[in-house]
Amino acid sequence: MADKVGAQKAGTAVPEGVGPGKVFPPLDPGTFAPQLIWLALTFGLLYLVLKRVVLPRVGEVIEERSDRIKRDLAQAEKLKADTQKALGNYEQALSDARAKAGAIAKTMRDKLTAEVDKERAKVEAQIAAKLAEAEKRITETKSYALASVGEIASEVAGVIVTRLIGKDVTKDEVKRALVQRAAE
């Protein structure tokens, strides 16, 4: 005992009721029934807290996320429809612009063709006028040359006759002989 008192004073003594002969309280068959009751009460309270407090909040969060997803999908569909409409408007405007450019090009081509045809007609008229003038000059020159041929022929014939026969012949005599010869 003296050892016990000395050990208690030192704080190293083993308390009574604890030791190798005692069982771990949760595994003690004597306390098994009250432990089951406390377990049922604890799980019941936990279930009530979860059912009334936690699960409604989680449900609200899930419902809000679902609503947000639906709103986002609806907005995405609306944006998609707006995009399709804008794309359709763009393609229509592009088509209209191409048609307008084609019409402008056709108008310009027709205008230039008309101007070229007008210039061509003007140049052809100038060429025709110059050609007519040249033909007129050629005709005048030809008729003058043909008119002069008789006179030149009579002069040449007079000179030839004078050299051949040695006698001077008048121009009138040569012309009469040439006209007489041409009539035969």
Report pLDDT digits (tens) over 129-176: 999 999 999 998 888 877 777 777 777 877 887 888 877 877 777 778
On whether residue 16 sits in a domain, the answer given is no
On whether residue 95 sits in a domain, the answer given is yes
Selected residue with higher pLDDT from 12 and 82: 82
Mean pLDDT for 104-132 is 93
Query: What is the CB neighbour count within 10 angstroms for residue 177?
Result: 15
Both tokens assigned to 163: 């050299």
Q: What is the pLDDT of residue 144?
A: 82
Q: Which of 47-51, 74-78, 113-117, 145-149 has the lowest mean pLDDT?
A: 145-149
What Å distances lie between residue 23 and 16, 31, 39, CA to CA?
14, 11, 20
How far apart are the C-alpha atoms of 163 and 154, rounded to whole Å?
Answer: 14
On whether residue 119 sits in a domain, the answer given is yes
Q: What is the pLDDT of residue 18?
A: 55
CB contact burial 155-173 (16+ within 10 A = b; e otherwise) = eebbeebeeeeeeebeeee
Both tokens assigned to 137: 């000059």
On whether residue 80 sits in a domain, the answer given is yes
Q: What is the pLDDT of residue 90?
A: 95
On whether residue 10 sits in a domain, the answer given is no
Q: What is the pLDDT of residue 17?
A: 57
Q: What is the pLDDT of residue 180?
A: 79
CB contact burial 38-75 (16+ within 10 A = b; e otherwise) = eeeeeeeeeeeeeeeeeeeeeeeeeeeeeeeeeeeeee
On whether residue 55 sits in a domain, the answer given is yes
On whether residue 147 sits in a domain, the answer given is yes
Q: Which of 19-33, 79-93, 124-138 has the lowest mean pLDDT?
A: 19-33
Mapped onto helix, strand or coil, the DSSP state of residue 123 is helix
Dihedral (Cα; 102, 106, 108, 114), 10-degree rounding: 180
pLDDT at 9 over 60: no
130 neighbors 151 (Cβ within 8 angstroms): no
Number of domains in the chain: 1
pLDDT at 19 over 80: no
pLDDT category at 99 given cuts 50, 70, 90 is very high
pLDDT category at 25 given cuts 50, 70, 90 is confident
On whether residue 20 sits in a domain, the answer given is no
DSSP single-letter state for residue 16: T
The whole domain housing 99 covers 31-179
Q: What is the pLDDT of residue 119?
A: 93
Both tokens assigned to 88: 């359709």
Mean pLDDT of the chain: 85
